[in-house]
Each structure stands twice: as C-alpha cells, then as structure tokens.
Amino acid sequence: MKDLLATSIRYQQGTLEVLDQHQLPHREIWLPCASTDAMIGMIQRLQIRGAPLIGIGASLLLAHLAEQEASADQLRTDAERLRAARPTAVNLMNCIDRMLAALDAGGPAALPGCAEQLFEEDVELCERMATLGAELVGDGSRLLTHCNTGSLATAGVGTAIGVIDIAHRQGKRLHVYVDETRPLLQGGRLTAWEMARLGVPHTLICDNMAAMLMAQGKVDAILVGSDRIAANGDFANKVGTYSLAVNAHYHKVSFYVVAPYTTVDRHCPDGSAIPIEQRSASEVQGVSGSFGEVSWAPAEAPVYNPAFDVTPAELVTGWILDTGVYNREQIAGGVLKTLG
C-alpha cells in the first residue's frame, strides 16, 4: 500500500500510526497500530475518532493485515469485530462493507487498493462539502460549532470545520464560538487546537452558554457534523447537538449539519432507529486527558452517559453534503434515499 498521510492518521513504509487524540492539545504523540485489538481499543478510547476517520482507520488496518498475509477468513472475522467497535457511526459500517466486497471480489490482495480509494475519496468528499458550505458563510459571520469536525476527524479538511477552514482561506472574516463539548471536552481540547492551527479567531465557551450568545444576537449560524443521518434527515451527533438545534430554532439562527454521503443511512427510516452508544460513567464523574485525571463526583453516583443525541429534521436549516446543499423540502422529498 502506498504512503497515505493525514493530520491524525498516516501509513508510511508499511507502518500504520494514529495521532493519540487523548494527548491533545498539549502533546502530539503518534501510536503504532498493527492489530485489530489495537485499533478497536483506540476507537473505543477515542484515541482515533470522528465518524469518517474511524472508517478510514479500520480500512487501513485491514489492508495492512492483508499485506501481512492474513487469510481471507481471518480478515472477515477482523472486519466484523471492527464493525462493532462504534455502533452509532455508520461510516465505519460503510467502509467495512466496501472492504468486504473487495475481499469477496479479489481476495486479500484487493484490500490495499480499496483502502487507498477510501482514504482518497474522503479527502475529496471533505473538499467538496466544505467548498459548498463556504458559499453559505458570509464575510463577518459569527459561527458556533460543537464537538470536533475538522482534520482530526477525517482524512481531509473536515466536515463542519472544513467549511470554516475553506471560508477562512477565501478571505472571509470569521469568528467561531467553540462549545467545549461535555463530557469529553472535544471542543475545548481539539477544536480550539484546530482553530489556532488554522488561524481562525475563536472563543471557547461552556456548552450551556450557547443559548445566551444566541439571545444576544452574537451567532449568525451553527455548523455541526454527524455520525449518522437517517433517510428522513434526522441525525445523530455528539450529545448536546439537539439542545443547540432547539435553541437555534427558538432564536431563528441558521442550523446546518455537514457530512459526506457516507454518513447517510438510507436503510434507517428516522432518528428513532439510530442506535445510541452508552459510554462509561467515569466520563461524567470526572475527566481525563493529557493533563491527567480528575474526579468530581461520588463514585457511587448513578450516571446516564449517551455519547450522542438525535436532532429531528424539522430543526435543521440545511444539510451540507458533498453532493449538494439540501433544504427541508428536498429532504422530505426523499433525496437522501438516492445517495450512494
């Protein structure tokens, strides 16, 4: 397999490495990944994260194992284990399906080429959706985003942050409010890091400050990513997104979801059918990262910790995909069922 390089994953000279997102923003540490157990652990610990990127990472790992002469039967077993690593992110399932189709058609030797194609396709998808989304961003816009949706979450420029990146490169004056994103602080740790790298003016806020900013007229549009979009336009994203959408609807602030066509699940009729991953209580009882670990709640305190929530389509202003920008009427007309 040829060398493939991205912000948070790289394949060079036969070695697959992942940027440990647990260590950001203070340390940039690359971890080797040479086994299915290692990749599953990194996915579940969110050392590699973002719906598009975990699909790419799983595909590169399978291709690497194929080059290490793993059998077709072993690769199928590994693929199914990887598929189950994150139940909400449909990009992972889509990538695994394409790798398995390549395996069935051409045997293990076909996997490196398929993984290369998936990687390069994601770069192209990001560029297309970011360019389309940037057309909706006016000069002087004040934007708000949630979680992390940039080059740390994809092989390319990102989804929602990709839009911001392209608009900034076009010379538009922007200011971005970054939700810290509880409970894993992916906005505070990762998005603020990416904004600084891109040179985009930004302000970090707690999640529960967003409504106040909207009430003060300081937010022109909200851009978020997605882990799965149902056929009717409902979508799952990092928990807290639904609250943003409700507040945006009340305050008449434009609310956009940005994702590649690989995030659309045509077989999922609506948001009620999207599986929602439940995560460890420790993520709510405290926090951990490159700064160490802090616990602030009683160890015996009952915890509810869904990783995602579902935003209904009626709260969305527009869906920015690599195939186009769609409004509610188009979504209600079934356009998402035609993608892919």
Active site residues: 227
In 35-187, which ranges are E strands?
141-145, 174-179
Strand 286-289 vs strand 292-295: parallel, antiparallel, or unpaired? antiparallel
Q: Which are the contacts of 138, defined by CB distance < 8 A and separation ≥ 6?
A: 172, 220
The angle formed by the CA atoms of residues 77, 83 and 86, to the nearest 5 degrees, is 140
Q: Which are the contacts of 130, defined by CB distance < 8 A and separation ≥ 6?
A: 156, 157, 158, 159, 162, 163, 165, 166, 258
Of how many residues is the chain composed?
340
Question: How many helices, marked H, and strands, marked E, lie in the chain?
Answer: 12, 17
Q: Which helix (H) or strand (E) holds 224?
A: strand 221-224
Q: In Å, what is the CA distance from 90 to each residue of 130, 176, 259, 268, 318?
A: 20, 28, 12, 10, 20
The angle formed by the CA atoms of residues 15, 17 and 22, to the nearest 5 degrees, is 165
Determine the Cα–Cα distance for residues 128 and 111; give it in Å rounded to an integer. 26
Closest alpha carbon to 235 in 208, 258, 210, 211 = 258
Q: What is the DSSP letter of 255?
A: E
| Beta carbons within 10 angstroms of residue 140's beta carbon | 10
